[in-house]
């Protein structure tokens, strides 16, 4: 029995240092795992953002989306600056590619429109991202309606008269626009499809160049952004015929809608929203969404964005994602129905 007891004593003596050695190995491992969990825990507890946020814009400085981005960036208060970064080219697809390939951590987001998420990707022969899979909606900003305006070269003055004229001379009634894929171009294509009166596209390098020719009488009409067109309407240089929003809006100063003027269901405009890489954590998306909705509700930002022609929206990420899906289906159908091809 004494030998057995001695054996137990010896086993006990050897077990103590073994346990110590195991503890010496496991404690650093546990500490490392705990340390690795801290960033995620901090994010979940509101640690985001801990560094500046990049708001990527596919338009040059001074353009409409750039102006909106800078208004929002200056008003946001997340404890870190929001830095606007302009990445122009390829109908804003370069900007979209930058964000699609960025880490999905909320520090790189994109100010997007239907051009970026629907029209340009559908028309593009090659692209390095999938607009339906590579992004998630963060927050809707608003929509900017267009105004159908005419110059001295157009002899008629109402939507029904324009439809009748277009039907009497298929493809002969010109309209100015910024080129294939731009919202003014797509408005003319939608008008042609919905009325059966085919319009002829006259592309320009920009909206202002088109309006200059309409004022001069070289082109009869165009669908123009309301914020750009209405000053010319007020001065008498252009005639306002109708607005493309679903209902009359103050910025169009009482103009009837295209829909109520004889084209039921006609609605088009430029919308803007903030999107992020698809795998961005939901708590980060929610934090950005809450801050953007707070900013959009402030009187100062409302006033500035209204001056840019935008009617503000208040949407959750789910609502915005549903809207993006609807827009993709809408523009895809129009591109097919109107047989629109990239230039």
Summarize pLDDT for 39-59 with one digit per residue, the tens.
Answer: 444 444 459 999 999 999 998
SS3 158: coil
Least confident of 20-24, 93-97, 106-110, 234-238: 20-24
Using CA of residue 225, residue 230, residue 232, residue 238, what is the dihedral sign? positive
How far is it, in rounded angstroms, from Cα 242 to Cα 231?
Answer: 15
Q: In angstroms, rounded to a whole number, what is the distance separating the alpha carbons of residues 295 and 334?
A: 34
The pLDDT tens digits for 181-196 are 999 999 999 999 999 9
- Judge whether residue 8 has pLDDT over 80: no
Confirm if 68 and 308 have CB atoms less than 8 A apart.
yes
Contact 98, 108 (CB under 8 A): yes
Q: What is the pLDDT of residues 97-128, one digit of tens each?
A: 999 999 999 999 999 999 999 999 999 877 88
Do the Cβ atoms of 214 and 149 come closer than 8 Å? yes
Placement of tokens 């795992």 in the chain:
33
- Residue 140 in contact with residue 105, Cβ under 8 Å? no
- 86 burial type by CB count under 10 A (0-12 exposed, 13-18 middle, 19+ buried): middle
Cα 309 from Cα 268, distance rounded (Å):
14
Specify the higher pLDDT residue, 270 or 15.
270
Q: How many CA atoms lie within 13 A of 53 on its CB side?
A: 31
DSSP 118: I
What are the residues whose beta carbons fall under 8 Å from the beta carbon of 107, sequence distance 6 or more?
Answer: 49, 51, 52, 53, 54
Contact 324, 96 (CB under 8 A): no
pLDDT at 11: 41
Verify cis geometry, omega within 30 degrees of 0, for the bond prior to 49: yes
Predicted pLDDT at 46:
57
In this predicted structure, the answer to whether residue 17 has a pLDDT above a threshold of 60 is no
- As a whole number of angstroms, the distance between CA 223 and CA 145 comes to 10
Tell me whether residue 221 is exposed, middle or buried, using C-beta atoms within 10 angstroms of its C-beta: 0 to 12, 13 to 18, 19 or more.
buried
Integer Cα distance of 195 and 225 in angstroms: 21
The token duo for 149 is: 């305006």
Rounded percentage of the chain residues whose pLDDT exceeds 90: 76
Determine the Cα–Cα distance for residues 296 and 237; give it in Å rounded to an integer. Answer: 33
> Which residue bears the tokens 């009837």?
256
The pLDDT assigned to 125 comes to: 79
pLDDT band, very low/low/confident/very high, at 18 (cuts 50, 70, 90): very low
C-alpha to C-alpha distance for 148 and 240, rounded to whole angstroms: 6
pLDDT in tens, 309-337: 899 999 999 999 999 999 999 999 999 99
Q: Within 13 Å, how many C-alpha atoms sit on residue 13's CB side?
A: 6
Residue 30: predicted pLDDT: 45
**Is 264 within 8 Å of 277 (Cβ atoms)?**
no
Which domains can be identified in the chain, with CATH numbers?
A: 53-143+270-337 (3.40.190.150), 145-252 (3.40.190.10)
Over residues 165-175, mean pLDDT:
96
pLDDT of residue 22: 42
């Amino acid at each position: 029995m004494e030998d057995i007891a001695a054996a137990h004593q010896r086993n006990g003596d050897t077990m103590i240092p073994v346990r110590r050695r195991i503890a010496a190995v496991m404690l650093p491992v546990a500490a490392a795992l705990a340390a690795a969990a801290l960033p995620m825990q901090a994010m979940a507890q509101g640690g985001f953002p801990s560094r500046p946020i990049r708001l990527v814009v596919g338009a040059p400085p001074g353009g409409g989306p750039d102006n909106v981005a800078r208004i929002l960036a200056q008003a946001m208060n997340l404890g870190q600056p929001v830095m606007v970064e302009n990445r122009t080219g390829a109908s804003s697809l370069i900007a979209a590619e930058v964000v699609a390939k960025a880490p999905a951590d909320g520090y790189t987001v994109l100010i997007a429109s239907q051009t970026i998420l629907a029209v340009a990707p559908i028309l593009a022969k090659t692209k390095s991202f999938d607009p339906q899979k590579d992004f998630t909606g963060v927050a809707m900003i608003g929509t900017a309606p267009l105004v159908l305006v005419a110059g001295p070269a157009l002899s008629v003055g109402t939507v029904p008269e324009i439809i009748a004229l277009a039907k009497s001379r298929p493809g002969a009634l010109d309209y100015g626009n910024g080129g294939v894929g731009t919202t003014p171009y797509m408005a003319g294509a939608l008008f042609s499809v919905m009325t059966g009166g085919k319009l002829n596209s006259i592309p320009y390098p920009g909206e202002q160049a088109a309006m200059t020719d309409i004022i001069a009488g070289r082109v009869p009409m165009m669908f123009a952004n309301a914020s750009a067109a209405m000053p010319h309407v007020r001065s008498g240089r252009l005639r306002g015929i109708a607005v493309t929003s679903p209902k009359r809006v103050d910025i169009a100063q009482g103009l009837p809608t295209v829909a109520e003027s004889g084209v039921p269901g006609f609605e088009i405009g430029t919308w803007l929203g903030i999107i992020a890489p698809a795998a961005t954590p939901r708590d980060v998306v929610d934090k950005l969404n809450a801050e953007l909705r707070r900013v959009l509700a402030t009187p100062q930002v409302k006033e500035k964005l209204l001056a840019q022609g935008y009617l503000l929206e208040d949407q959750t990420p789910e609502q915005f994602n549903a809207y993006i899906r609807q827009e993709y289906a809408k523009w895809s159908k129009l591109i097919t129905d109107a047989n629109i091809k990239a230039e």
